[in-house]
Structure 1
């Protein structure tokens, strides 16, 4: 049994804390925010996409990105900055934009996705699904472009849950798409994918963590420095003083990069800013029952309880959390055009979050150069999807157990 401090109170930090507690360790949770799940986990897309894990880096993406940059309402916005992190990340990202690398990364993420699905199921007796609006919605990726649709359907996929639908079938099985039926080439549906409220999950899991007999407490404080000596962490300098433990887990989103750098560790993370809209669903609305992804526009739609959650866009603008009115207005127009009767768009709540992404889109899980510092970072837009599986892997590694599959591509060494 070790005493472990987990740095980060988002979905990845909380699941890390829980799996370590269940593995027999004593755990302290530390976060700079007074409450859990109030950062990137707060109002994300809500999709648990265990099989749709397509990495952003792929062959052809650089050319598409150039097109998006010149589109007024494109899914990508890039603001060049005098920031070494930005340019190093972009260089590494471009190096990953190869079909063979994308294929290997996708295979690894599918393994992590399946592990996460199983881990979430094991957690259900402790955190009932109803507490965070979990629903087995299935996922439908719709395509406007015939060439893109044909290319997607041509890819081999042995999943028994996969179905290919034409435009009429998409609208018939998901009536919320009726207004855009004539704009669709078709769609690919996968069963077994879910939607849920990530923030509500964080709150529910935090309650169980606080009640756990081995939980040592929650520290509200900003970590200023990771202190180390002799290749080991000796303590954390925080606003609440020096805190010490046997081992430490870094799971603090984008703050992880800064903290690691202070300890001499280079984490290849960059914040991909994303936006979401939440709108209440009225009785007369035709909201999507299936989780929908608009492939070309990179817009996600999920019904979470009585709320429509829409998430979209990648802004490479550094650590800027301001709500860009033009981007939000553009997204709102696209949503109203695509699903005009899905929710009450006069009562939209906007949000923006920084998704800590690696150049390959694969998270970093496991050991660091410091013997007692562990990493669980870089999940990008799939933090909720991968959180339980990543935490399960981390707990095994801390205990010296062999992981259920090879972790090449998922470690800091890559």
Structure 2
């Protein structure tokens, strides 16, 4: 029997619920003054049930893995109805590591994943670079998660919304739900109203094409016309679906004693466009473990890439971690700079090393120097010549290393660093949590409880603004501009 269902919230979850309800013959009223403007606008869209699995998350995996495997079927049905793009890409994920500690942590996790039946394939660094030439020669290891996929949430939301707006059985209304209406112990409708001073949302459901080489914000755009003010209205319904994310706990009329299992988790992303001659920069989603910090790089079909490396629960919705994302993303691969992305091969991967070969790949390589060909290896003249050549090579390597650091210097000039005081000394850091700072200063990856991932002892205590931070809270404790940090190393003595 067909019912009337109100869906509160038009993010990806609410849109998907409304769309499926219509496929099953129910009448739907969708309430949201600004569709897909929250997490659906910001998310990278990785369907990473395998690569995002962590220890003791089997209950979550039991939901996320079957859902990920259903995506192709759902997307095919949506594409048939709309005839347009859906943002879905059936491509796997490569997870790479920056150093030996990261590799050891990843191998341990990979063993756990395989033990519960997940498909994870270990890759050597050379094999990973063969699959994606983007990777730096310095990666220490990698694995392939073939069951992972990705979707562009903005495009997906646009596909859902366009189909629902054209459907006579769905009423999409730019109203905010204010209260659940009850009768005889059951929810029978929703009280909704225009939010005073709110504006009509006019979001383009794609990656914004910004015609500039400067870094810009990517917040949703709004029209200048306010929603019409008026009294609230009551809308009756047989069922109500609450899917408006962080606003859901503010809804009046929720059952007494309900502990809403939701909290805000913030992250910062950078979106870059790749020059035409370098596309595709990547053919798979890339996740990295860089000195204990996670980073991801998601390639879109339109040539843009999404980079992210931060996760925080400090309640601040401002963009804070741009430099962290850019720096961490450079470690597993060449990263991006200036007007777009660096060359796919990255520094040190080109076979054309001799100057004449770089200028003319078809030129013959000059013969080796023969001045001391007939001298004994112990002859002083030959030893001096060899020392000179070693010094020359060393200077050349140093120049190359400095060249690799120039893009990071440009990022620092953009003002992404954070100035703090560590043990009485003012310094600039790119860490956004206590755990990230400790990991950077010790060179060791940290487990979620703050202990070293390699199983050894750390012997450190940390105080932030004169308050001791417990080790288990290091990952959840953010750093702020001007913070005073004391890092104390434990020593033995009498």
Q: 1:256 aligns with which of 230, 248, 258?
A: 248
| 1:273 is aligned to 2:266 | yes
Distance 2:82 2:50 in 1: 23
Distance 2:336 2:298 in 1: 11
* Kept after mapping to 1: 8 A contact 2:13/2:243: yes
Distance change (3 Å), C-alpha of 1:300 and 1:31: same
* Kept after mapping to 1: 8 A contact 2:5/2:241: yes
* Kept after mapping to 1: 8 A contact 2:310/2:324: no
- Which residue of structure 1 lines up, in the alignment, with residue 366 of structure 2? none
- Which residue of structure 2 lines up, in the alignment, with residue 329 of structure 1? 323
| SS state at 2:298 partner | strand
> Pairwise mapping of residues 18-37 of structure 1 onto structure 2 (< 5 A)?
18-33=19-34, 36-37=35-36
Distance 1:188 1:194 in 2: 15
Q: Which has the higher contact order (CA 8 A, sep 6+)?
A: 1
Distance 1:152 1:237 in 2: 48
| SS state at 1:314 partner | coil
> Pairwise mapping of residues 58-207 of structure 1 onto structure 2 (< 5 A)?
58=55, 99=56, 102-128=57-83, 131-144=85-98, 145-155=102-112, 156=114, 162-177=120-135, 179=136, 181-182=137-138, 184-207=139-162
| SS state at 1:270 partner | coil
| SS state at 2:287 partner | strand
* Kept after mapping to 1: 8 A contact 2:284/2:298: yes
Could you tell me the TM-score, scaled by structure 1's length? 0.64
- Which residue of structure 2 lines up, in the alignment, with residue 230 of structure 1? 184
Superposition deviation, residue 123 in structure 1? 3.1
Distance change (3 Å), C-alpha of 1:115 and 1:283: closer
Distance 1:244 1:344 in 2: 55
Superposition deviation, residue 343 in structure 1? 6.7
- Which residue of structure 1 lines up, in the alignment, with residue 222 of structure 2? none
Which structure features the higher share of helix residues? 1
Superposition deviation, residue 107 in structure 1? 3.1
Distance 2:254 2:116 in 1: 45
Distance change (3 Å), C-alpha of 1:250 and 1:292: same
Superposition deviation, residue 220 in structure 1? 1.0
Superposition deviation, residue 160 in structure 1? 8.8
- Which residue of structure 2 lines up, in the alignment, with residue 315 of structure 1? 312
- Which residue of structure 1 lines up, in the alignment, with residue 381 of structure 2? none
Distance 1:26 1:329 in 2: 47
Distance change (3 Å), C-alpha of 1:132 and 1:239: same
| SS state at 1:105 partner | helix
* Kept after mapping to 2: 8 A contact 1:8/1:30: yes
| SS state at 1:289 partner | coil
Q: Rg larger in 1 or in 2?
A: 2
Q: Deviations over 1:165-211 (max 9, x none)?
A: 0111111111111x2x32x3321112253333211111111111112
* Kept after mapping to 2: 8 A contact 1:281/1:344: no
* Kept after mapping to 1: 8 A contact 2:15/2:157: yes
Distance 2:30 2:160 in 1: 13
Distance 2:304 2:340 in 1: 13
RMSD over aligned Cα atoms: 2.7
| SS state at 2:296 partner | strand
Question: Which range moves more in the overlay, 23-32 or 233-242?
Answer: 233-242
* Kept after mapping to 2: 8 A contact 1:279/1:343: no
Question: Which range moves more in the overlay, 339-348 or 243-252?
Answer: 339-348
Distance change (3 Å), C-alpha of 1:104 and 1:234: closer
> Pairwise mapping of residues 358-397 of structure 1 onto structure 2 (< 5 A)?
none
* Kept after mapping to 1: 8 A contact 2:121/2:144: yes
* Structure 2 gaps, min length 5: 195-231, 342-410, 412-494
Superposition deviation, residue 259 in structure 1? 1.9
Report how many residues are paired: 294
